Amino acid sequence: MVRFENVGLRYGMGPEVVRDLNFSIAPQSFQFLTGPSGAGKTTLLRLMLLSLRPTRGTIHILGHDAAALTKDDLTALRRRIGVVFQDFRLLDHLTTYENVALPLRAMGRAESGYRAEVIELLRWVGLGDRMNASPPVLSGGEKQRAAIARALIVRPELLLADEPTGNVDPGLARRLLRLFVELHRLGTAVVIATHDLQLMDQFGFARRLVVGDGEVTIFDGVSS
């Protein structure tokens, strides 16, 4: 699903932000990406999304060598990846429902074929009564849930989530994590960046990728 081989990244002439990254993420796997603030978790997710290109080494995503992808190839590949950004990236001129449905519209699906699916997911994340609201009137937690629903609606092969529970209460955080686990059980590889150790401890089966000093250390899950 994802393979990094001797990957390094630097900005300009500065020191490498990450270096000598060698790890892989298997299909249908579940892992937390963790480490202190500023360690490089978001940078690593951006490398996996290919919104950043490494200055050395090789990245393979969904069976493709990132260096060989054309612009059209990259667009097609990203449709197979669900992403939850820290800044949500919702479109203010669309309703919550329309924001969540947008990836399906972009794929050319007719609304009659997905409307019930979008509504069900919005109800599951607690936004059933906010479907017609626009992002400017949503709270931070509501925007977070809308962004999560948008990432999940396409049932991606790979899900990348950057602090997806950072703006919700602990109870809802657990509920959202269970949704990620269910998606994983249906076949999606899941990578969740978080610094919440308590939350990770509740999902002991998950592998942990710990970022520190520009490197990644892997700790396998202890239970299934």
1-80+156-224: in CATH 3.30.70.920: no
The ranges assigned to domains in the chain are 1-80+156-224, 90-155
Q: Is the pLDDT of residue 201 over 90?
A: no
125-161 pLDDT, tens digit each: 889 999 999 999 999 889 988 998 999 998 899 999 9
Which residues share a beta bridge with 192?
A: 32, 161
Amino acid, single-letter form, for residue 37: S
Q: Is the pLDDT of residue 222 over 70?
A: no
- Report the distance separating Cα 139 and Cα 133, nearest Å: 11
- H or E stretch including 118? helix 111-124
Contact criterion met (CB below 8 Å) for 144 and 126: no
Q: pLDDT band at 224, cuts 50/70/90?
A: very low
Axis-axis angle for helices 140-152, 170-185 (nearest 10):
0
Q: Is the pLDDT of residue 62 over 80?
A: yes
- Report the distance separating Cα 30 and Cα 207, nearest Å: 6
* High-pLDDT (> 70) share of the chain, %: 98
Q: Is the pLDDT of residue 121 over 60?
A: yes
Averaged pLDDT of the chain = 90
Q: pLDDT band at 221, cuts 50/70/90?
A: low
- Residue among 217, 138, 2 at smallest CA distance from 149: 138
What number is the average pLDDT over the span 40-64?
93
What number is the average pLDDT over the span 39-49?
91
Q: pLDDT band at 223, cuts 50/70/90?
A: very low
- Report the distance separating Cα 87 and Cα 84, nearest Å: 9
Strand pairing of 56-61 and 2-10? Answer: antiparallel
What number is the average pLDDT over the span 3-29?
92
